[in-house]
């Protein structure tokens, strides 16, 4: 891409007072702490700003990438020659409502952290989201990949999602129509932008809900390398087994490429030991995949998104 579309986009956004930055380091916006600069980095504060940003990107023929908390994203070392649109400002205070049929609905904006939504559920003694406590993502990202842990998934409690479609029209679809599967959804296949999600939760006992959340959090601290930058579980779970277990059985605990390493604490995680590049992580994951396939026959699929 030539620089002219980027310059034209920056000029148009500046003229309309839309929040944007030129050459923003993407390493500052991902949990991996890896990635070169975004030609344009945007942080819309309202749906109207988001819509106008997307319109301008199309008009100027600048490609876009929608980013949440960056907890499952690995940006290229060269950066992103386009507009990275970060949705973390599109957060809301989660709202809890009693429905006429007796069910309880919790609604939150795409940029709202999962932790805030879990705490809101806890404060109203609502059960169903305990598994998500401690996942370092936003609602938008969690819906996008149908996040899950400890036997629970977003699809288990998701009611419906409001989004901008390919024509930037506001639409709402029920969870049953979102093709929610293991770490996937329809949003991976369509150029749609998640704005808000609604969950149906059940009444429970506050003490039990809190105890379950704290138990899951303690397990994370005990088993996962939370002290080092990573993007969470690096590989999807193969049928009938666990990626981390396969990697460990192949003798790859602590295996390194450059500044990237298979975690000593949990082999399902690739961590940034300091100064790791995107190239380091990609090469490491490819070598791990090849070794695991050769030794076990299982084919590992990366769960983290590599964005170039």
Annotated catalytic residues are 183, 233, 303
Q: What's the CA gap between 55 and 154, in Å, rounded?
A: 30
Instruction: For tokens 């050769």, name the residue.
Output: 294
Q: Are strands 305-307 and 73-75 parallel, antiparallel or unpaired?
A: parallel
Which token pair is 284? 């490491």
Q: Which two tokens stand for residue 133?
A: 């406590």
Segment holding 223, helix H or strand E: helix 206-223
Q: Please provide residue 239's backbone torsions phi and psi, each rounded to the nearest 5 degrees.
A: -60, 125
Count CA atoms closer than 13 A to 231's CA, side-chain side.
29
Give the Å distances, CA to CA, from 64 to 60, 88, 182, 289, 307: 11, 16, 25, 30, 11
Q: Please provide residue 68's backbone torsions phi and psi, each rounded to the nearest 5 degrees.
A: -105, -120
In angstroms, the CA 79 to CA 26 distance is 7
- Cα R_g (the chain), whole angstroms: 20
From residue 176, give the alpha-carbon distance in Å to each of 24, 64, 146.
Answer: 38, 28, 13
Q: Report residue 48 as tokens.
A: 């109207």
The string of DSSP codes covering 76-106 is -TT-EEEEEEE-TTS----EEEE-TTS-EEE
DSSP code of residue 236: P
């Amino acid at each position: 891409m030539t620089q002219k579309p980027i310059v034209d986009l920056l000029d148009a956004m500046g003229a309309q007072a839309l929040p944007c930055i030129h050459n923003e380091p993407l390493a500052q916006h991902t949990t991996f702490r890896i990635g070169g600069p975004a030609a344009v980095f945007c942080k819309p504060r309202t749906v109207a700003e988001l819509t106008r940003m997307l319109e301008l990107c199309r008009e100027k023929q600048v490609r876009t990438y929608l980013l949440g908390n960056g907890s499952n994203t690995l940006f290229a070392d060269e950066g992103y020659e386009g507009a990275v649109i970060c949705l973390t400002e599109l957060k809301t205070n989660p709202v809890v409502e009693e429905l006429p049929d007796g069910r309880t609905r919790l609604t939150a904006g795409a940029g709202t952290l999962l932790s805030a939504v879990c705490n809101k559920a806890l404060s109203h003694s609502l059960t169903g989201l305990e598994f998500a406590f401690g996942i370092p993502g936003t609602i938008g990202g969690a819906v996008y990949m149908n996040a899950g842990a400890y036997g629970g998934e977003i699809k288990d409690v998701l009611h419906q999602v409001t989004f901008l479609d390919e024509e930037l029209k506001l639409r709402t679809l029920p969870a049953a129509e979102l093709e929610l599967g293991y770490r996937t959804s329809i949003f991976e296949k369509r150029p749609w932008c998640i704005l808000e999600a609604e969950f149906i939760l059940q009444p429970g006992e506050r003490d039990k809900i809190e105890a379950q959340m704290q138990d899951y959090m303690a397990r994370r601290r005990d088993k996962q390398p939370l002290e080092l930058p990573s993007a969470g579980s690096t590989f999807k779970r193969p049928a009938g087994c666990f990626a981390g277990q396969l990697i460990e059985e192949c003798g790859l605990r602590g295996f390194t490429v450059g500044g990237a390493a298979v975690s000593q604490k949990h082999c399902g995680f690739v961590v940034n030991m300091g100064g790791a590049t995107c190239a380091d992580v990609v090469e490491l994951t490819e070598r791990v995949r090849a070794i695991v396939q050769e030794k076990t026959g299982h084919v590992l699929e990366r769960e983290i998104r590599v964005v170039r």
